[in-house]
Amino acid sequence: MNGSPEAEPPIVAAGLTKRYGDLTAVDNLDLELRRGEIFGLLGQNGAGKTTTILMLLGLTEPTSGNAWVVGLDPTRHALEVKRRVGYLPDSVGFYGDLTGRQNLRYTARLNGLRGEAAEATISEALDHVGLTDRADTATRTYSRGMLQRLGIADALVKDPEILILDEPTTSIDPIGVAEILQLLRNLVRDRGVTILLSSHLLTQVQSVCDRVGIFASGRLIGLGTVSELDAQFGEDVGRVEVTFEGEQATGATERIGQILSGIDHVEKVAPAERPDEAWTLLVRPASAGRAVREAVLAAAGREALGLTAIRSTVASLDDIYRAALHQAGLHGAAVSA
């Protein structure tokens, strides 16, 4: 690729294909990442996500097609790509008898960093991932979530332009997951890093990624924001959530349901299961969401319904994913929610 590094997309794949005998692991992949985004590569285990990553890193050669990472062909410039790209595999390994800081010193030396400059870089990376307090503890005492954060710090030591993470939150408790996802947001905000996140966990991808690529049986079958994917694969159904106060105490649940069901474009009403939860209105067409919100506000004022909140919500990535598989004729494929 030609042009200045700033003008080039950080990752480009054109017709990228990998075959193992009769098995096509990655089939004619066209993909372009944008600078400073978190891109989610979503698909079940075995969909071809890891094979794609290995080709982007120059760890396996494509059967056909091309890839460019930071403007370089990874099959010809694998070492330079590795210097400029941080990679966290799904199972990161460290020397258990060494401390977190000592493990990072080893990585720093491998990347030509020594002395005070290396120590400053290591301390900054540890601080960025929130491990300063445990930096001098043996890594055999770390939880999986801490090891994953140390893995991110390990990737940050070489100040990468791109960070590639392969299933970074698998087998981590919910608090640890939230910490890692927030860390990724901070890296984009503070360092301008481009992140490629490979995962089969729908909710996590939806919560953190700017765009999503749906990968199935080696093919990219959907690409865009969640809203764009919903428009492409959804059934043109919008969702409006409304919350009321006091309906259980006043026995008004049935009455509220009748009022909401009578609003134009409301196809279905799902009542709240508890007083502090929202009712969900399915709206068709999705473009009628604003009109429905205005009608709910008017009805709430007219009928004294005690409305406390109203908002439109995006579709579930789970529903979008299954619809995409159905349209692609891959009915049996599934991922873990």
Question: For 134-166, how does the pLDDT look when each residue is reduced to its tens digit (9 = 90+)?
Answer: 999 999 999 989 999 999 999 999 889 999 999
Query: Mean pLDDT, the chain, as a whole number?
Result: 90
pLDDT in tens, 162-183: 999 999 888 888 888 888 899 9
C-beta pairs of 67-75 under 8 Å, 24+ apart in sequence? 67/11, 67/12, 67/13, 67/14, 67/16, 68/1, 68/8, 68/9, 68/11, 68/12, 69/10, 69/11, 69/162, 70/5, 70/8, 70/10, 70/161, 70/162, 71/1, 71/3, 71/5, 71/8
Token reading at 312:
């439109």
pLDDT for 335 beyond 50: no
**pTM for this structure?**
0.80
Mean pLDDT of 218-235: 90
The pLDDT score that the predictor gives to residue 73 is 97
Token reading at 24:
């096509």
pLDDT in tens, 10-55: 999 999 999 999 999 999 999 999 999 999 999 988 899 999 999 9
Please report the domains of the chain, with CATH numbers, ordered by start residue.
Answer: 11-232 (3.40.50.300), 235-313 (3.30.70.920)
The pLDDT score that the predictor gives to residue 6 is 58
- Lowest average pLDDT, out of 75-84, 167-176, 239-248, goes to 239-248
More confident residue, 329 or 11: 11
- SS3 assignment, position 210: coil
